[in-house]
Amino acid sequence: MTGLVLSDLARSILHGLGITLLLTLSGSALAFVCAFVFGLGRISRWRSVRIFSIVYIEIFRGTSVFVQVFWLYYALPAFGLLLSPLFAGILGLGLNVGAYGAEVVRSAVQATGQDQYEACYALNLTRYQSYRYIILPQAFPRMLPVFGNNMVELMKASSIVSLISLADITFQAQQFRIRTGETFLPFAATLIVYFLLYLGILALVQAAMRASGPKSMKV
């Protein structure tokens, strides 16, 4: 009997793990793109781009990710845009964490010394060249640890998609609780799986830091 219950639990959590991983990875990819686009947009030469980026960052940092995901899922249909729960989840998580990441990109780029910009200017590099070859390679290792923390936040926030009926780990745990009446088992297992994901992300970021570290030191 217990064996059956345990294998049922393992199966449902594995099912949920797929969704959680999918959400975390694609949400992070979207957040990564948003972070660079709006982080660099915020210090752009063009006023309109700057204002647009600031509005985006303030709106998504100013409200809760929970409200954002709910808004995308429940309120957008009013404008004729019906998103699937998965898409709403990825979009909400990615845009939210992207706004936090944009601030990280901005501060890391601005922390690059003024002399670097002057050197670019002296070498007559174009703006694209100086960002691509001089500024960003130096700023990137500085962003990585904070990106890692942001990714952990995203992974944790992904549990809220269970409330818009997406079958991630948390949702599966709830279903299991309703199905079997067991309470401790599903939630304890869920917490442990999330903690393992957390450790996995930390290891991933550490590997990325190791890969990007020495290259930037070489001058």
- Site residues, other proteins (CB under 8 A): 59, 62-68, 70-71, 74-75, 78, 107, 145-146, 148-149, 152, 155-160, 162-163, 170, 173-174, 177, 183-184, 187-188, 190-191, 194-195, 198-199, 202-203, 205-206
Cβ closest to other proteins, residue 125 vs residue 212: 212
Cβ closest to other proteins, residue 125 vs residue 138: 138
The nearest distance, CB 4 to other proteins, in angstroms, is 22
Q: Which residues of 166-198 are buried (b: 16+ CB within 10 A; e: fewer)?
A: bbbbbbbbbbbeeeeeeeebbeebbeebbeebe
Cβ closest to other proteins, residue 110 vs residue 129: 110
The nearest distance, CB 145 to other proteins, in angstroms, is 4
- 35 in helix, strand or coil? helix
Joined tokens for residue 205: 């970021």
The nearest distance, CB 128 to other proteins, in angstroms, is 27
Joined tokens for residue 91: 């979009």
Alpha-helical (H) ranges within the chain are 2-41, 47-62, 65-70, 85-110, 114-122, 127-129, 136-157, 169-180, 184-217
What number of other Cβ atoms are within 10 A of residue 209's Cβ?
14
The nearest distance, CB 111 to other proteins, in angstroms, is 9
The nearest distance, CB 171 to other proteins, in angstroms, is 11
Cβ closest to other proteins, residue 130 vs residue 171: 171
Which residues are within 8 A (CB) of 37 and not within 5 positions of it... i.e. 6 or more apart? 102
Cβ closest to other proteins, residue 50 vs residue 142: 142
